[in-house]
Chain A
């Protein structure tokens, strides 16, 4: 349906063409490679071309370029958010990237930046050292003893050091019997006392030991002049160093203009990495290379042309339609522009297998409807519509973002539509006529939710039946879906008969249909089982599955619950604002702030809940009935770019 048809190819080329061909195929992009050895036994394996050295070198350059980017990025002036969105990413063609890959003088830049960075770091450390020294000198800055007095002299040694004031008594006690130890207090800073100690050089070890034990901790200071002089010198040096550091920074900054090219170079290297890693899937003989993979069937001609551009006629290519039941076939979804924004939900769950069905167009209308029911406010819908419209119209978005915004653009109409049905405008701020009144008609909403759920589930089962018929097993469709329809419809009508004044005959027929359906499920539910007993037990277990249907129906009450909760949050906001407005001018201002804040938050919350809960109904209730998934996503042969946008005309045309 909407899974793109794939063809498997086996391609043999001369080995000399291998690298140019990869470059050419990267421009073509729509090719998905598989390993030629994936099914091979131990013997008869072709080795892959050995590119490990190149790969390793390439990775080293990548990590260096990454380092440069990290260094430069913080200096970049960021454009405003709106400005940035308007401009989008710069464009580059793959051809430009290949040229850059050969010619970009990254090593020069790397050395320049590294030296500038190193200088900056050195200066930073030197500044830190000086600041620490200054801190140490600060308490003794009032002394006029020059620092030259410290250290070793001809006969004596002089040191400065600290003593805690509570240890002072013990210190004096322990040092009082030393005739050749001269002590003098030079400064005081809170609990810390600064003393100068002089002693004979020949008695050094004993005196130092004694001082240490008495609680004297020597300071590491040196230099010329008094401490105050030294601090002045240090201050001057720090100023100088700061200048140097600034200069180093400016040197880095001066290379900011390289950033766009560096970004492009980074992408070029990433693409090279992809090419190198892809070669690991190839098989190599002395002169040829064998390649296997998949291309979309409609692209075969363009693929051949791309190969011919490089190899001329010197190649052998064999195309076969992809096997339907082969799990390795890569999956690409193909839908019209109305449905394709919903593909991201399928991708998030799991890609279909090649023999399944693309569920996107099937669940999209329900998703749209359910999301609207959960949002259900004209005002909120208009807000969503306005934001997404502006984004689509004026911003230069990446492909993925554009798809995401478009998704909400479509959904906003559903939100407005249900808002009209519920008569809700910004949580009841503007009185509207309502088809269904949220304040009274809870039961109507509840029944509507479950009824929509019923349609949703029955549709999912119908898809399962369709798939069985398509695959040539119409009886499976009857056993697995038809019987369930009978059991469920019968049960529902039978139950309704006891509430509604239906003619008695309807209830009777319904009961009979239900029983036939249930017996059928017991008999055929486990028809693959080998023994009769196993088949019946399995069938009973299948029938027990009816309890999960009850859970499924109840699950759809969230359609009502989310609609109500968002409406009542909005209602409460309006209520508070109304109260504030009674408090005069300040009340008006406060009320306005509360109004904006509350409703903005509610829009966000409503859209988030709507997104997630509708996804849940899709994944659990809807997909649970027919969808398996687990296919391999088709990977384009081009690195998903982070910094640039590929110029597409080259990628799509040949």
Chain B
């Protein structure tokens, strides 16, 4: 067992980090995009010409999944080189910011997008402001993403 862990432990931990980043951030985005998509579908019933604009708002919570995916890829490039345990653990920790914040901010951004879609439904001229509100939430996903990148490069 000890031998197994020393040989593969680093890769396993790093792989776990990549997996967490991809699936937690992905889940956050999926929920967010789903929420916004439901609301957008409600608008398009009566006003199909708003499809394009509603798509922008639906798309916004989708970026967290992308950030998690990129961190996952960056980790993947380092796997399979008999990584020491310590380094693997460091990589796992580096993945946590985008994993956790991706999940929470994806959901929060989804809700804000739904509110923005309300603006689109009732007062189309002001819909840019709905986009701005939703992108504000994105700030924290970006900060987490960048922190994950910095930590990853520091390992």
Task: Give me the interface of A with B, judged by CB distance under 8 Å.
Answer: 348, 439-440, 442, 557-558, 560-562, 564-565, 568-569, 571-572, 575-576, 605, 608-609, 612-613, 615-616
Contacts and interface: CB of A to CB of B under 8 A. Distances in A.
A615 B138 CA distance: 14
Contacts of A569: 66-67, 70
B143 A561 contact: yes
Interface in B105-155: 128-129, 131-132, 135-136, 138-139, 142-143, 145-146, 149-150, 153
B97 to A, nearest CB: 12
Contacts of A440: 153
B5 interface: no
A561 B146 contact: yes
Nearest to A558: B139
B115 to A, nearest CB: 16
Nearest to B150: A442
A565 B67 contact: yes
B77 interface: yes
A613 B135 contact: yes
Contact of B136 (A562, A571, A608, A616): A616
Contacts of A613: 135, 139
29 contacts: A348-B129, A442-B150, A558-B139, A558-B142, A558-B143, A560-B146, A561-B143, A561-B145, A561-B146, A562-B142, A564-B146, A565-B67, A565-B142, A565-B146, A568-B70, A568-B145, A568-B149, A569-B67, A569-B70, A572-B70, A572-B74, A608-B131, A609-B135, A609-B138, A609-B142, A612-B132, A612-B135, A613-B139, A616-B132
A564 B151 CA distance: 13
A398 B153 CA distance: 48
B63 interface: yes
A439 B152 CA distance: 11
Interface string B45-77: 000000000001000000100110110011001
Contacts of A605: 63
B33 to A, nearest CB: 14
Contacts of B138: 609
A576 B74 CA distance: 11
A442 B66 contact: no
Nearest to A562: B142
Contacts of B132: 612, 615-616
A439 to B, nearest CB: 7
A568 B142 CA distance: 11
Contacts of B149: 564, 568
A106 B136 CA distance: 49
A575 B77 contact: yes
- The 5 lowest CB-CB distance pairs between A and B, nearest first, are A612-B135, A572-B70, A561-B146, A561-B142, A564-B146
Contacts of B153: 439-440, 442
Given A564-B149, A608-B131, 12 more contacts: A440-B153, A442-B150, A558-B139, A561-B143, A572-B70, A575-B77, A605-B63, A609-B135, A609-B142, A612-B131, A612-B136, A613-B135
A512 B22 CA distance: 51
Nearest to A579: B73
Nearest to A616: B136
A568 B147 CA distance: 13
Contacts of B56: 608
A565 B145 contact: yes
A536 B132 CA distance: 39
A325 to B, nearest CB: 29
Contacts of B145: 561, 565, 568
Given A442-B153, A565-B146, A572 B73 contact: yes
B142 A575 contact: no
A219 B143 CA distance: 70
Given A348-B128, A609-B135, A616-B136, A557 B63 contact: no
Contacts of A571: 70
A27 to B, nearest CB: 26
A434 to B, nearest CB: 15
B95 to A, nearest CB: 14
B65 to A, nearest CB: 12
Contacts of A439: 153
Contacts of B74: 568, 572
B146 A608 contact: no
Most buried by B among A568, A569, A571: A568
